[in-house]
């Protein structure tokens, strides 16, 4: 029987059907289904997603590290005993905050909610954050302060279909979420696709043959580009002055700042020719509703956000969109392309260090009182805010930090910035507990490894990039064994009981969701009108599996929902979510790269994703079809730059920065600027790009500057091993992780 569900990878959450075979081998086939985001399409990762379900190295038993450093199979009782002892030691040494938790943007809403609750009332710690801090935190911060709330796309993706213009700022959906590209067809046919990216990515290539314009700026100058576009909108009479007067504050200050950025000044700072900048501005102006255009959209992605000034970059994009009168209008708007599968829902219900369920602030007394009542605890039992991800990880194993860490749904020794430092801190922990379904690079360092269920073996909900709440359904049975994999909800329930937690923990996903709905009621991200039963009823009315429900979905407004538009598909139509209902423009300034070019580091290192891989690659590197196409790390470099450095196609190349060094195979390409090199971040070992990335933080969002830092590039000689603290840490990590898993 076929089961309607959703892809386990990116936030597009493409609709698919899974069919378990009858051959006794457990094979599962994937077929796409009609769904608003993918419309019957899937990318290469989606088509092969079932392959991970039968990966030969699936974790089937708990593991603990024995006296000689090896991971050995054990029972759940023994694993739990080790964990409880570790918690008690950490608490005795440093109090409740001696234990920390690091979550993931791929967990279901039920698990993200329960993990936040487990940290705060099961362990009593404030020290929780998650890998979504590395994903959309800058866009979330900018959206919150300008629009009043953060929902990646405050409109259905299908609204793009009729647009005259779509501008992608640091986003490459043609490679990261290919089914998205069909929503750009209208803009391309009208010559209205604008892509801002230092590389000629597959998305930038979509602007060829008159379909739009590719602006290829110097890395780290996106704010200047956006200010220059705003300048041209102002002097070209394209600003929607009535909209600005009625719905926006802060316009006068932003307008004054933008007037300083003449096109010639922008060209000097960014390298973008004046004619190309003017062309992009004209496309936006003629598409805007103020002149009767069919509409325009400004969409940001990680390329704009993963910077030490990422929040200000998104604010500059929002300023441009507001000046054109786009947000809060049907057929136009601003949005952010969320990356991780549940990057939206994962941050709404308590994994972030400063938030409680419903997108409430943990410092808000009313929010604390509400959550305490739902959880059945005293308000004083809920800790205050903890540390954001980079600070949390950097303090591990130090006198000021936690000595024990739980990791769920993340692989930070590959995905975190300056990952050699993270591996060093993990090695310094007294106890590292990792829950996963494969032995990721992080799990390989653990003292206790807990095997979890996979996506097709569990029930739950996900929230996609549109804020659409979707049902994930069990399609195949979990491995059946007494000491086999367990659902995280059960794991946290059992650990909470052993730790004498003051609150109960649901083990059934539907019950966990009902509690989440009560906890979110009245919050920004209000799910109170939703339940598994309701989502199933609406979806099963649709033979194709349903279309989910948009938050906010307030209980009192959900008594007779229209299954086609459940919840709130479009935000801000009447007012923004600020106290006075008006959007707040933020007067930002152009700022340089935190680690800029210098004589010993004359090239910029850029990082990003590939079509065949996802995040740290822990899943996709286990799919033979995907790994066969992209099996190893590479360094994309311009042919002229390569010739100057004596590098040829296929040479091993070392990219060295102040943070560390990574090695990849040279790929010569004209699609990158001569002053840049590019590495994908999906690979481990010496090819881990994040060994070299800069942990400098955005002061508002605490987002690391993954996307750009100064680097020295040279041919790599195996005989000449690199040295430095980062490499020592990576070596210690490798030595520990390399211990065998024994029966």
> Do 82 and 431 contact (CB within 8 A), yes or no?
yes
> Quick one: pLDDT at residue 455?
95
| 609 within 8 A of 175, measured Cβ to Cβ | yes
Whole-number pLDDT of residue 718: 75
Domains and CATH numbers, the chain: 2-54 (2.20.25.90), 63-135+345-527 (3.40.50.740), 142-341 (3.40.228.10), 603-742 (2.40.40.20)
Intervals of the chain under pLDDT 50: 541-543, 722-740, 743
Helix (H, G, I), strand (E, B) or coil at 432: strand
Task: Write the DSSP string, 543-594.
Answer: TT----EESP--GGG-SS--TTS-B-SS--SS--SSTTS-EE---------S
List the beta bridge partners of residue 71.
65, 741
> Could you tell me which of 240, 262, 261, 260 has the C-alpha nearest to residue 251?
240
CA angle 20, 23, 28 (to 5 degrees): 25
β-bridge pairing 193-196 and 603-608: unpaired
Burial of residue 108 (number of CB atoms within 10 Å: 0-12, 13-18, 19+) = buried
Q: Which two tokens stand for residue 601?
A: 């580091």
Tokens, residue 7 = 């892809």
> pTM, whole model, 2 decimals?
0.94
Predicted pLDDT of residue 743: 46
The whole-angstrom separation of Cα 526 and Cα 514 is 12
Taking only Cα atoms into account, the Rg of the chain, rounded to an integer number of angstroms, comes to: 25
Q: What is the pLDDT of residue 179?
A: 97
Name the token pair of 472. 């994930």
* Closest residue by Cα to residue 386 from 680, 71, 133, 48: 133
Provide the pLDDT for residue 724: 43
């Amino acid at each position: 029987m076929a089961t309607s569900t959703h892809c386990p990878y990116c936030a597009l959450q493409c609709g698919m059907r899974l069919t378990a075979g009858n051959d006794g081998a457990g094979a599962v086939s994937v077929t796409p289904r009609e769904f608003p985001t993918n419309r019957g399409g899937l990318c290469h990762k989606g088509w092969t997603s079932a392959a991970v379900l039968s990966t030969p190295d699936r974790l089937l038993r708990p593991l603990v590290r024995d006296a000689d450093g090896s991971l050995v199979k054990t029972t759940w009782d023994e694993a739990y005993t080790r964990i409880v002892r570790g918690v008690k030691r950490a608490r005795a040494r440093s109090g409740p905050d001696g234990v920390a938790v690091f979550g993931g943007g791929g967990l279901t809403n039920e698990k993200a909610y329960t993990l936040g609750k487990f940290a705060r009332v099961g362990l009593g710690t404030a020290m929780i954050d998650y890998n979504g801090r590395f994903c959309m935190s800058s866009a979330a911060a900018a959206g919150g302060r300008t629009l009043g709330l953060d929902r990646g796309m405050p409109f259905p993706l299908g609204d793009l279909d009729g647009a005259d213009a779509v501008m992608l700022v640091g986003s490459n959906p043609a490679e990261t979420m290919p089914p998205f590209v069909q929503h750009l067809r209208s803009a391309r046919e009208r010559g209205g696709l604008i892509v801002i990216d230092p590389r000629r990515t597959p998305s930038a290539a979509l602007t060829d043959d008159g379909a739009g314009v590719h602006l290829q700026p110097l890395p780290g100058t996106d704010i200047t580009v956006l200010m220059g576009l705003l300048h041209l909108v102002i002097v070209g009479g394209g600003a929607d002055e009535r909209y600005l007067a009625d719905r926006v504050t802060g316009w006068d200050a932003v307008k004054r700042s933008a007037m300083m950025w003449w096109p010639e000044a922008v060209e000097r700072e960014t390298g973008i020719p004046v004619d190309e900048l003017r062309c992009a501005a004209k496309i936006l102006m003629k598409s805007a509703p103020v002149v009767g255009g069919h509409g325009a959209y400004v969409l940001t992605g990680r390329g704009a956000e993963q910077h030490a000034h990422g929040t200000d970059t998104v604010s500059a994009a929002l300023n441009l969109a507001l000046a054109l009168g786009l947000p809060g209008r049907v057929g136009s708007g601003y949005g952010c392309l969320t990356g991780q599968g549940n990057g939206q829902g994962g941050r709404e219900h308590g994994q972030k260090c400063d938030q409680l369920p419903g997108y409430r602030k943990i410092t808000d007394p009313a929010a604390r009182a509400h959550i305490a009542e739902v959880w059945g605890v005293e308000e004083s039992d809920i800790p205050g805010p903890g540390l954001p991800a980079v600070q949390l990880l950097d303090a591990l194993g130090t006198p000021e930090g936690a000595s024990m860490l739980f990791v769920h749904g993340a692989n930070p020794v590959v995905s975190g910035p300056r990952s050699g430092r993270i591996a060093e801190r993990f090695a310094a922990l007294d106890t590292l507990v990792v829950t996963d379904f494969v032995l990721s690079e992080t799990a390989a360092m653990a003292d206790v490894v807990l095997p979890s269920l996979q996506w097709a073996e569990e029930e739950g909900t996900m929230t996609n990039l549109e804020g659409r709440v979707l049902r994930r359904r069990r399609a195949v049975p979990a491995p059946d064994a007494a000491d086999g994999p367990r659902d995280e909800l059960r794991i946290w329930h059992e650990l909470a009981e052993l730790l004498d937690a003051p609150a109960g923990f649901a083990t059934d996903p539907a019950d966990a969701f009902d509690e989440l709905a009560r906890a979110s009621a009245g919050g920004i991200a209000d799910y109170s009108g939703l339940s598994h039963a309701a989502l199933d009823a609406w979806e099963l009315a649709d033979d194709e599996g349903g279309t989910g429900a948009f938050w906010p979905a307030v209980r009192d407004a959900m008594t007779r929902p229209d299954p086609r538009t459940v919840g709130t598909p479009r935000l801000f139509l009447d007012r923004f979510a600020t106290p006075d209902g008006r959007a707040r423009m933020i007067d930002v300034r152009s700022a340089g790269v935190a680690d800029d070019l210098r004589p010993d580091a004359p090239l910029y290192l850029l990082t990003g994703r590939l079509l065949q891989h996802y995040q740290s690659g822990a899943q996709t590197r286990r799919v033979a079809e995907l790994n066969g196409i992209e099996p190893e790390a590479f360094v994309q470099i311009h042919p002229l730059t390569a010739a100057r450095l004596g590098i040829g196609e296929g040479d091993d190349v070392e990219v060295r920065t102040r943070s560390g060094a990574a090695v990849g195979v040279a790929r010569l390409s004209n699609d990158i600027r001569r002053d840049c090199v590019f590495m994908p971040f999906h690979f481990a070992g010496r090819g881990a790009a994040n060994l070299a990335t800069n942990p400098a933080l955005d002061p508002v969002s605490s987002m690391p500057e993954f996307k750009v830092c100064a680097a020295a590039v040279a041919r790599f000689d195996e005989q000449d091993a690199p040295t430095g603290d980062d490499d020592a840490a990576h070596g210690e990590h490798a030595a520990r992780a390399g211990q065998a898993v024994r029966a």
